[in-house]
Amino acid sequence: MIEKDYKLITDYRDNLILEFKSNNQNIKFNLHEYYADLKLRIQTNLKKEPLFKLIKPRQIILDATSGLLQDSLILAKFSEKIIAIEISKEVYELQKIILERILNKDPLFRGLVQKIDFLEGDSASYNKVLNKKVNLLYVDLMFEDNKKAAPKKSKQLLRILANQSSNYPDFIEIAKASNLKLIIKSNNKNLLKTEPSLQTTKVGNLHFHSLPQ
């Protein structure tokens, strides 16, 4: 379960709040507001979403860093199936609470959740999943350090819960070995130096690095 530094509370409006104190930080994150904003994005105009512009519809996608499930839910809107793996035990436990308290109670999210398989994983899990029919490997490393701007609360949350250094496998090598298309969302410009075969696409303010098949 989530460690002692973290506490789930409910406010007077029955909103689920994640409160955590760590390294002189005291952050309160309203999970209901977070998913209300996400629901509005999905309902308003999906064609404006960067992922919709980059990824072909009706695919089976492995979301290798599922986090708070934002991208998994958006991808589920136009994909055949999503396999959402989370390597951090703390984040995975939080996912289960979010599913029970928020997502499964909302008809829109409930329909999207039915298209998602949720797995707590490690390096071996990725290889096991990739033995199945998967069209694309998607990786979001946006919670990494970005010195140009203070991270949003959602990224602060993921960074702390995942202890900033989860042992993620080498996704580029996994994609190559499995002959999979790979898309990485990241602020890490060094990716282009270490892997020159990556292609970069800018959509709005976001940068996506892809490894074509």
All residues at 6 or more sequence positions from 95 whose CB lies less than 8 Å from its CB, including other chains: 66, 68, 69, 86, 118
Among 120, 129, 207, CA closest to 175 = 129
Q: Which domains does the chain have, with CATH numbers?
A: 46-211 (3.40.50.150)
What is the model's pLDDT at position 75?
Answer: 95
Contact between 2 and 94 (Cβ < 8 Å): yes
* Cα separation values, 145 from 32, 116, 150, 189, 203, Å: 26, 28, 9, 12, 20
What is the model's pLDDT at position 144?
Answer: 55
Q: Which two tokens stand for residue 30?
A: 């309203």
pLDDT of the chain along its 213 residues, tens only? Answer: 444 466 778 877 888 888 876 666 677 888 898 899 999 888 887 888 888 888 999 999 999 989 899 999 999 999 999 999 988 888 888 899 899 999 999 999 999 999 999 998 865 677 777 767 899 999 987 655 454 544 566 666 666 666 544 456 678 888 888 888 899 887 766 666 667 778 888 877 777 888 876
What is the model's pLDDT at position 61?
Answer: 95
pTM of the model: 0.84
What is the model's pLDDT at position 159?
Answer: 66
* Cα separation values, 118 from 63, 69, 93, 143, Å: 10, 10, 11, 20
* Cα separation values, 206 from 10, 31, 76, 186, Å: 33, 23, 20, 8
Contact between 167 and 123 (Cβ < 8 Å): yes
